[in-house]
Structure 1
């Protein structure tokens, strides 16, 4: 029953994120924001809300291992599984913006954020710094995208179809409903994952790195797969990179501000796996300016290898 509830909670996380993104996007457009800005803020943050709420719930409950495992595991899942499968469905083309800025920033963040793990805890101060970086990066990304638009470069963003004739009240209902579903689903996921962990003798960290990480990444997986099937490489790739940064800066930072996050449950192997798949992604993006099906298969295989090696430990 607990496993069925975990699967159900993953579906509810996707539903809640979808309601939140659609309601937020529609309201933002009516308030005068452009689709570009909405795609880089409301949609990008909305699809990562499950990770944020699950980590916040875990931090409130004093379960740091789940909170940190969710962040590290989600990023490994994003790059190795979501990008890997998306590339196998349709080769993911890249562009100068990604090669020059986005990918290096994600790699740099992945190399620097684990420095906060060295003393065994991510403190509230370190969390505040990460939150500041999240806000700074978002402002910078919006400005760069607007600059590229002025220069005539096409900017692809993921914004759902919006009907402007609908009342703003309907948008607020969607936002409130989405948040309510997300909060309920995050509690359902964490509580039942902890039960499964105790039943099978697994650590909270392992559950966070695998089951919870995969569950909270369902919105990103769905978004990137749909984009890949439509040949919208910019959206599929941007979703993965944006979510990875959001997890490192906003999710980890927010959880640490709520309650200092112990990293004692993480193994060095988990951090090396995170750095490894991120580093592996960069040359794939550079060579031929695309991630082809074979490279996507390598990324996906790296996740299988990670789970096989990590799980017994």
Structure 2
């Protein structure tokens, strides 16, 4: 069905480009195939038209992923609550992982399509975008005061997870053992959260994110609708991304690092800027750090489990290094600011943005 819809859209675009659906015009770019049907005449087929179609599919895929993730979290949270599961458990599992659902499902679809580099590029590229653009833009719009809890919990966890990621990527191979190790780490983190988050304040915050007074049938409907949207949108997004990579003559990892990472990270950008404008400084920074940790621990295991293999060295020497440089900048800025009780201002935001642009420029130069 996916190929049929894509074929139909391409036909419509080509008909528009050729000036109308007359048969003489159609036969200029369609030729009879062996099966008695028509196939594209690739010698005539304009490359720009398929690019436009795939970009349209990718945009629709992003919209489906984001909207589907929202409905999935809503339905799953309400259904779990109706089943008697405590709000704390729901908040630390469904709500927490639901925010990274676009990255998770696009990574799974990439691995199933035999494109592990697209999945790895999505995870690393999303982390680079979160720090370089989402946090950078938020700081430029409004300075943020990093909370003390970052120094004790979130930042050490981010450093540990980032180092583990580098050690696993060092041999340029992601396999089942690497994936299981990452799953073990995220399981340990969840266990620590269950033990550490026992205060009424934390549980009250989490309860606000869980829908109330929703029937079980309605909750299950939203859950299935969101899940279907996530699966279908991820599949279309990955297929269109692979086609764009082929047209541009670049690896799927490049598309994952840029286009896919940008689209799947738009919710983090919106959430971080909104939290900064409303003065929720802890949520603004914590959202970025939490998303980056989950991208490594939850998104990266998919290529290891479903499409184990070697990946391009640039994902390690260029992109992982860029992620670590941005992470190091975050650590270097946050710890002194926490000790001195001062804000991270617009200059800090510009530093993140400039590093992101520098990384993007280096990548552009290398592929051209």
Q: Which residue of structure 2 aligns with residue 286 of structure 1?
A: 335
Do structure 1's residue 216 and structure 2's residue 264 form an aligned pair? yes
Q: Paired residue for 2:70, among 1, 4, 18?
A: 18
Q: Find the counterpart in structure 2 of residue 304 from structure 1.
A: 357
Change over 3 Å in CA distance of 1:298–1:142 after alignment to 2: farther
Q: Deviations over 1:3-47 (max 9, x none)?
A: 122122112211111111222233334444555544332222001
Residues 49-60 of structure 1 aligned to structure 2 (within 5 Å) = 49-60=101-112
Specify which of 112, 119, 131 is matched with residue 67 of structure 1: 119
TM-score by length of 2: 0.78
Match of 1:4 among 48, 52, 56: 56
Work out the CA distance in 2 between the residues paired with 1:222 and 1:170. 28
- Offset at 1:199? 1.1
Quick check: 1:115 aligned with 2:167? yes
Question: 2:75, 2:220 within 8 Å by CA — same for their partners in 1?
Answer: yes
| Alignment correspondent of 1:181 | 229
Match of 2:273 in 1: 225
Q: Structure 1, residues 60-92: CA drift from partner, whole Å, max 9, x if none?
A: 111111011111111111122122222223333
1:92 match: secondary structure: coil
Q: Does 1:269 align with 2:318?
A: yes
Unmatched 5+ residue regions in structure 2?
A: 1-52
Q: Distance in 2 between matches of 1:247 and 1:261?
A: 19
Question: What is the SS of the residue equivalent to 1:311?
Answer: helix
Task: Give the CA deviation at 1:110.
Answer: 0.8
CA distance in 1, matches of 2:309, 2:279: 39
Q: Out of 60-69 and 28-37, give the one that drifted further.
A: 28-37
**Mapping of residues 118-129 of structure 1, within 5 Å:** 118-129=170-181
Deviation at 1:215, TM superposition (A): 1.3
Q: Is the 8 A contact 1:128 1:254 kept in 2?
A: no
Q: Whole-Å Cα distance in 2 between the matches of residues 207 and 58 of structure 1?
A: 12
- Provide the rounded CA distance (Å) in 2 between the counterparts of 1:88 and 1:295: 8
Question: CA 1:63–1:80 in structure 2 vs 1: closer, same or farther (change >3 Å)?
Answer: same
Aligned twin of 1:83: 135
Structure 2 Cα separation of the partners of residues 284 and 191 of structure 1: 40
Q: After alignment, is 290-299 or 115-124 more displaced?
A: 290-299
Q: How many residues align?
A: 309
Indicate the structure whose relative CO is greater, using CA pairs within 8 Å and at least 6 residues apart.
1
TM-aligned CA distance change 1:23 to 1:260, over 3 Å: same
* 1:86-108 Cα deviation digits (max 9, x unpaired): 22233333222211121111012
Judged with a 3 Å threshold, the aligned counterparts in structure 2 of structure 1 residues 29 and 285 are, in CA distance, closer, same or farther, namely farther
Aligned counterparts of 2:252 and 2:67: Cα–Cα separation in 1: 25
Q: Which has the larger displacement, 258-267 or 31-40?
A: 31-40
Question: In the aligned structure 2, how far is the partner of 1:79 from the partner of 1:128?
Answer: 27
Per the TM alignment, residue 278 of structure 1 is displaced from its structure 2 partner at its CA by: 0.7
1:121, CA displacement in angstroms?
0.9
Structure 1 unmatched runs, 5+: none
